[in-house]
Amino acid sequence: MLKYDFFGFEVAVDLETTQSWYAAAKPQRRLYDKSEEVRNFRAAARKRLLPDYVLEHLDALGIPPQKATFITCTYMDKDGTGCYQFSYRIAGNILSGYLPGVDPDDYIRVVPRRGDKGRCIHEINPTIPPKVPKPHVDLEFYVKQLPWALDEPPTKEFLSKFHRDVE
């Protein structure tokens, strides 16, 4: 196991297991993967449009950016620039970095602080993706300005999830 520092969390990572798991992982065929925000994220990740702090961590771990195991869009401007939260499952354990007095199993419920770029959590009931390595850690990122990367513009139906005045 190699030790890494991710956003103030010291994590022991089984790099070989993590890399072989991602190499074998097939694209998820889940309903949510068909949504515009997820397709846009994956397109932006393939084009390496993610911020440097994301790409540096993923490159160090040998994880393809488009293979995030969880993706959600929390806000989208009318031009398609979005705020995203996404994570990557890695084989390993969190050694330190939790806030004092917070049970590690409850840490996933702690709302990130304003300005945070990421954190590490341990999802005790992982549902995404199948056959995850054990033990595992979720390396979570927050990006405020991810550009629209799909060839087609965002649909009105999609933008109406974030804006009431879309025509």
C-alpha–C-alpha distance, residues 126 and 138, integer Å: 10
Q: How would residue 45 be classed by pLDDT, with cut points 50, 70 and 90?
A: very high
> Is 60 exceeded by the pLDDT of residue 83?
yes
Residue 57 has pLDDT above 90, yes or no: yes
Q: Answer whether 0.75 is exceeded by the pTM.
A: yes
Higher pLDDT residue, 27 or 76? Answer: 76
Q: Per residue in 85-106, pLDDT tens?
A: 999 999 999 988 876 666 666 6
Is residue 66 within 8 A of residue 42, CB to CB? The reply is yes
At 73, list the tokens.
């869009």
Q: What is the pLDDT of residues 93-152, one digit of tens each?
A: 998 887 666 666 666 666 666 678 998 887 766 555 557 778 889 999 999 999 999 999
